[in-house]
Amino acid sequence: MNGKNKQPELSIDEEQIREALNAHWQASAVGNVNAEHDIYHDDAICDYPQSGERILGRRNLQALRSHHPGKPSGFNVRRVLGKGDLWITEYIITYQGQRAYTVSIMEFRNGKVVHETQYFADPFEAPAWRSQWVQQIE
């Protein structure tokens, strides 16, 4: 750290990756499918473990997302963490009034995503029995 309450210094490559991620998530939020996919290598792989699907190549990934029947009505990046070629983003997507808590794990090579794994989780009601030990978050 280089001072109180400041971000740790990033290498030039890490700064470029963070900028690319910011542009990617902003494009995702507004539905700009061309800009959204600039971050991916042509031969990128994207895995959706919960549905058992693997998307091969940037073109297929862009086509799949372009044909999604519901456009998100909300997109909230909670945090982005990473170092070197491994970056993780936590975010919430709202489709048709339903929130999906999402984690994206991206592996980079030469400044482009070569592998992404996305996990999607539906919200659930917290059980009352543990209320004495927790506080509610958004």
CATH of the domain at 116: 3.10.450.50
Residue 134 placed within a domain: no
Residue 30 placed within a domain: yes
Mean pLDDT score of the chain: 89
Residue 130 placed within a domain: no
Q: Which amino acid is at 107?
A: E
If one counts the domains in the chain, the total is 1
One DSSP character per residue, 19-44 reads HHHHHHHHHHHHT-HHHHTTTEEEEE
pLDDT tens, position by position, 33-90: 899 999 999 999 999 999 999 999 999 999 998 888 777 788 899 999 999 999 999 9
Structural domain range at position 97: 12-122
Residue 131 placed within a domain: no
Contacts of 3 (CB under 8 A, 6+ apart): none
Q: Which of 101, 82, 73 is nearest to 19 (CA)?
A: 82
